[in-house]
């Protein structure tokens, strides 16, 4: 496994592989890797000849400077983990390498960026668009793999690929959970013992909600989810939304067509966790 830090090294190397007709799979990450990331690498290995993982904490997608400062950075450990799943190449650039000049591009994701994460974290998805499009330009993968924990992000990236005409297949992969049910996230490492112990209540609530959907209307169920999560003194709900899985339109009634997904953002102390479940 090679670890590269510059665009030119990576572009030259991938150019050689491409000439040999190899298909490239790509897993963009912000590091602090866990089994969820490794599951994406395994999926890429199954579906590509060569797998590239990027590790880059992207400053333009943080709307809270404290959150950026707090975000875990564990490059050496990440590299060791990637060796265990036979990753081929790691791209770990500096901020200057990705942004030699400030990126002033503004993306228009329309309705997709006005709800849930988009509403609560202004500018976040523009930053995601900036960094993922830059990484796609550098790596030029055939396929890119993303976890469905970041459900809204997957919709945004699919939209960006269409807007910019990238010939890249976006492959969403299932949420990987701890035994407790807590969705794996790099932010979990920031939870103290008590909050870590209580955070699984989020997914337990979503599972109960799925079973209750036939007994309540949409508004009642959203209220029930909020109150049930908040019943745990270590958790505070930021939002609960039930949306169409493709358009992200907010569902008003169970009679509406399409698959429905319940999405939540919850604070466990100062740490913000997101999760979702398909109904």
Write out pLDDT tens, residues 114-150: 999 999 999 999 999 999 999 999 999 999 999 999 9
Residues 109 and 166 in one domain: yes
In a domain, 181, yes or no: no
Write out pLDDT tens, residues 177-221: 999 999 999 999 999 999 999 999 999 999 999 999 999 999 999
Dist. CA 10–CA 44, nearest whole Å = 18
Write out pLDDT tens, residues 74-114: 999 999 999 999 999 999 999 999 999 999 999 999 999 99
Task: Tell if the pTM clears 0.85, that is, is over it.
Answer: yes
In a domain, 180, yes or no: no
Q: Is beta strand 260-268 parallel, antiparallel or unpaired with respect to 143-147?
A: unpaired
Q: Could you tell me the strand order of the sheet in which 143-147 lies? A: 2-4, 89-91, 50-55, 24-29, 143-147, 169-173
User: What phi, psi does 185 have (nearest 5°)?
Assistant: -155, 145
Our answer to whether residue 195 is catalytic in this structure is no
Checking if the pLDDT of 65 tops 90, the result is: no
Residues 196 and 249 in one domain: yes
In a domain, 214, yes or no: yes
Checking if the pLDDT of 66 tops 90, the result is: no
SS3 content of the chain, % helix, strand, coil (to 5): 45, 20, 35
Dist. CA 246–CA 76, nearest whole Å = 37
E strand or H helix that includes residue 226? helix 218-230
Residues 96 and 138 in one domain: yes
Dist. CA 140–CA 134, nearest whole Å = 10
Domain count, the chain: 2
Residues 167 and 215 in one domain: no
Dist. CA 221–CA 240, nearest whole Å = 10
In a domain, 179, yes or no: no
Catalytic member of 34, 37, 195, 201: 37
For residue 20, give its domain range: 2-173
Write out pLDDT tens, residues 15-51: 999 999 999 999 999 999 999 999 999 999 999 999 9
């Amino acid at each position: 496994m090679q670890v590269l830090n510059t665009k030119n090294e990576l572009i030259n190397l991938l150019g050689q592989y491409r000439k040999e007709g190899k298909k490239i799979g790509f897993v963009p990450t912000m590091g602090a890797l866990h089994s969820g990331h490794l599951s994406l690498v395994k999926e890429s290995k199954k579906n590509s000849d060569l797998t590239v993982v990027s590790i880059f904490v992207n400053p333009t997608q943080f709307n809270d400077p404290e959150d950026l400062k707090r975000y875990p950075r564990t490059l050496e450990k990440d590299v060791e983990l990637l060796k265990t799943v036979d990753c081929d190449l790691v791209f770990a650039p500096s901020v200057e390498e990705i942004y030699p000049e400030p990126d002033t591009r503004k993306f228009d994701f329309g309705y997709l960026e006005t709800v849930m994460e988009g509403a609560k974290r202004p500018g976040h998805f523009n930053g995601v668009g900036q960094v993922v499009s830059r990484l796609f330009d550098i790596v030029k993968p055939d396929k890119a793999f993303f976890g469905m924990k970041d459900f809204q992000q997957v919709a945004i990236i699919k939209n960006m690929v269409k807007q910019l005409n990238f010939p890249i297949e976006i492959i969403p992969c299932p949420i990987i959970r701890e035994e407790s049910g807590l969705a794996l996230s790099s932010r979990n490492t920031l939870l103290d013992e008590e909050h870590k112990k209580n955070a699984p209540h989020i997914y337990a609530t979503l599972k109960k909600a799925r079973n209750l959907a036939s007994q309540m209307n949409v508004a009642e169920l959203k209220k029930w989810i909020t109150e049930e999560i908040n019943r745990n003194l270590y958790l505070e709900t930021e939002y609960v939304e039930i949306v169409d899985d493709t358009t992200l339109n907010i569902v008003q009634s169970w009679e509406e067509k399409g698959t429905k997904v319940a999405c939540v953002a919850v604070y466990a102390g100062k740490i913000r966790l997101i999760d979702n479940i398909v109904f």
